[in-house]
Structure 1
């Protein structure tokens, strides 16, 4: 997607020169770029007539963005559920995050597996740390470390039984 935007801008520059002041406003490529990268919080089409503003009241779209940001910062919900709670389409919500209108850095930190675990083999502690640290210590992949928590692993007998216990 980024390459197509760069190619489009290069084609516009080839046609009209490097100075954006010389570019015509009715060019369909410029309209498409403007529509893609315009500020969604100021999009007039998203404002409904039924949302009358009273003195001191925030506009509806800003309330939705603030609520979405608060949910991203404080909950561990998947993004599609946050988008549903706020009232956004999941693709539009994702675009808000990628375009920088919503900061999802705290959400990513809480969603990453930064928890500490203890990894046991037959009730003997082998390693402890995050899943990635345990995997590096044992020379296994993180998915094989997580595999011992699956119900399909637990329903069969094994020569050595592995357990992964969350400690924090």
Structure 2
């Protein structure tokens, strides 16, 4: 669920409260959400309006291709394809799970190997967050002097 949807639901709850009432069920914002996120088994034409969306969803679920290549194969612009994923028209959760373990890294401190594995595995081993592990690759990190220099190197 995207942040915009959460904010819209919170606004509807602020207007009507969290109790089930007839006025809330007639709210046009809620009806738009129901149309947008209808059950694909009951209303397949409302969720997947075209064969291109079906094809894109199959590619997201079954391949490890980068998103821009999936967008090309499905016939979408890569920016529009990203917007479809963000807005909830395409579910990219399986794609993220499949892609998460593709890259292994070595994490160095002063040219000494500390840990090896995916970014999440390294973070768990060291008790740090994944964003902290990725932070040593930023240009802003590299331009300053540090007592200990950390490096993250992708293993091929």
Shorter-chain TM-score tier: 0.5 to 0.7
Q: How high is the TM-score relative to the length of structure 2?
A: 0.57
- 1:32 alignment counterpart: 31
- 1:21 alignment counterpart: none
- Offset at residue 136 of structure 1 (A): 2.6
Structure 1: state its 5+ residue gaps: 13-26, 44-59, 98-102
Q: How many pairs were matched up? A: 132
Q: CA RMSD in A?
A: 4.2
Query: Is the contact made by 1:148 and 1:154 (CA closer than 8 Å) also made in structure 2?
Result: yes
- Offset at residue 138 of structure 1 (A): 2.2
Q: Residues 59-94 of structure 1: CA distance to partner in whole angstroms, max 9, x if unpaired?
A: x9442222321442433227xx68981777936873
- 2:104 alignment counterpart: 116
- Offset at residue 9 of structure 1 (A): 8.9
- Offset at residue 157 of structure 1 (A): 3.0
| 2-structure distance, mates of 1:85, 1:161 | 42
Q: How high is the TM-score relative to the length of structure 1?
A: 0.53
Q: Answer 1 or 2: higher relative contact order, Cα 8 Å, separation at least 6.
A: 2
- Offset at residue 111 of structure 1 (A): 4.5
- Offset at residue 106 of structure 1 (A): 2.6
- Offset at residue 149 of structure 1 (A): 0.8
Larger Rg: 1
- Offset at residue 10 of structure 1 (A): 3.1
The answer to which of 130-139 and 34-43 deviates more is: 34-43
Structure 2: state its 5+ residue gaps: 1-5
